[in-house]
Amino acid sequence: MEALTWSTVFGFKTSQSLRVSRLHLISPGCTQLTRGGYKGSANFVTFPSHAARSCSILASADIPIMVNDCSGKMGRAVAEAVVEAGLQLVPFCLTGPGLQQNVIHVKDVHIHVHEASEKEVILDKVIEMYPGVIIADYTLPSAVNDNAEFYIRRGIPFVMGTTGGDRERLVKSVSDSGVYAVIAPQMGKQVVAFQAAMEIMAEEFPGAFAGYKLKVTESHQSSKVDTSGTARAIVASFNKLGVSFEDKEIEMVRNPQEQISKMGVPEEHLKGHAFHTYSLTSPDGMVSFKFEHNVCGRSIYAQGTVDAALFLARKVQEKATKKVYNMIDVLRGGSMR
Ligand SMILES: NC(=O)C1=CN([C@@H]2O[C@H](COP(=O)(O)OP(=O)(O)OC[C@H]3O[C@@H](n4cnc5c(N)ncnc54)[C@H](O)[C@@H]3O)[C@@H](O)[C@H]2O)C=CC1
Ligand SMILES: O=C(O)C1=N[C@H](C(=O)O)C[C@H](O)C1
């Protein structure tokens, strides 16, 4: 077998595919990461669409974003959002077993795809080539803990969008390590706001729904292997509100016919949707509540992931004491478009 050298691993010389786009850090005195388009690589950029909050953004550092796995559905959406935002997409990614394509194209970036078995050599080279890299992980529940612990060993800040795995172990390993991370099962701004509202309600009015009966139904594309991480997070708030309900009671709908007839999923979104319904009924059956959040496509998660990566970059730059964040922190920090 050919020895792995930098150029054979990646199939090209290091100068190739280095994009010009740069991520911009906040200049002193600018309180928010102002959004509205990151296109361009000028040293100072202002954002007219956010005139009230606009500020000069100093192109003082490069913050490359590596997306694992760009060949997965969510990874691809995030990679596209990274490029659309004018940020630097690292042209390498890690994938699971059974590599389909060595190179995939995301807009004008050619991404070299490598199996996770090569992760050590690939990531070391990425760190060398892209100092300050931030990883966005959208892989599989079975990979969550190993991936997080691997990023931690390499000291790389990361956004963990992948759901499932051992969540307690995940948070503990990051907290113990001192590596910066955003961990969240849900990146869509409005859904995160709903999640925050539920947490606030639970905090303010614990037990308010004591005795109520809860039914939770979630529908996702049939390839989704785990129960909705978002539904689990919302259930945790219902528990604090006094509702007795276990995650295993969440009804998962993965059958396309049922998704159309029972959940009302548009046929064209069978391969990418997340419909959630939470129904509450009072003990005497006289009062009922229903909460729904139905998302078609993946763009809100992809945009939220870019927001999370930028938020993380800022925390790293500020050397923030707090290291582990969720998307409610990102939303509260005013960092979501
Ligand atoms: N936080 C959020 O807002 C959202 C989270 N998700 C989560 O993202 C995850 C991925 O979802 P999809 O993209 O739909 O799945 P997918 O099945 O399309 O993609 C997963 C990819 O991960 C790869 N993979 C498996 N093991 C790996 C490893 N050890 N290293 C690198 N790559 C590996 C697979 O080869 C596959 O290409 C799921 O956990 C899903 O729930 C999805 C949407 C939004
Ligand atoms: O797999 C998905 O698609 C999604 N996964 C996340 C979850 O499990 O909550 C977020 C959203 O539901 C889409």
How confident is the model over 42-93, as pLDDT tens digits?
A: 222 322 333 333 332 333 347 899 999 999 999 999 999 999 999 999 999 9
Q: For atom 17 of ligand 1, which residue has the closest CA? A: 72
The active-site residue, picked from 224, 240, 293, 315, is 224
Grade residue 337 by pLDDT with cuts at 50, 70 and 90: confident
Structure confidence by residue, pLDDT tens digits, 255-306: 999 999 999 999 999 999 999 999 999 999 999 999 999 999 999 999 999 9
163 lines ligand 2 (CB under 6 A): yes
CA distance 296 to 181: 27
pLDDT of residue 99: 86
Percentage helix, strand, coil for the chain under 3-state DSSP, each rounded to 5 = 40, 20, 40
CA distance 208 to 310: 37
> What ipTM was predicted for this assembly?
0.99
Q: Read off the tokens for 177.
A: 């390590």
98 or 193, which is more confident? 193
Q: pTM for the full model? A: 0.86
The CA 12 to ligand 2 mean position distance, Å, reads 35
Q: Counting atoms of ligand 1 from 1, which one is nearest the CA of 184?
A: 1
* Residues in contact with ligand 1 (CB, 6 Å cut-off): 68-69, 71-75, 94-96, 116, 138-141, 143, 147, 161-164, 184-187, 223, 229, 301
Residue partners of 130: CB distance under 8 A and separation at least 6: 62, 64, 66, 88, 90
The CA 109 to ligand 1 mean position distance, Å, reads 20
Reference 238, options 270, 277, 278, 189; nearest CA is 278
Considering only 36-45, 67-76, 228-237, which range has the smallest mean pLDDT?
36-45
C-beta atoms surrounding 140 within 10 Å: 16
The CA 295 to ligand 2 mean position distance, Å, reads 10
Contact, 295 vs 264, CB < 8 A?
Answer: no
Is 224 known to be catalytic?
yes
Domains of the chain: 6-187+300-332 (3.40.50.720), 189-297 (3.30.360.10)
Q: What is the mean pLDDT of the chain?
A: 85
For β-strands 251-253 and 273-281, DSSP reports them as: unpaired
Structure confidence by residue, pLDDT tens digits, 78-135: 999 999 999 999 999 999 998 888 999 999 999 999 999 999 999 999 999 999 999 9
133 by DSSP, 3-state: which?
coil
The CA 73 to ligand 1 mean position distance, Å, reads 7
Which of the ligands is closest to the CA of residue 74? 1
Q: Read off the tokens for 201.
A: 């309600």
pLDDT of residue 63: 86
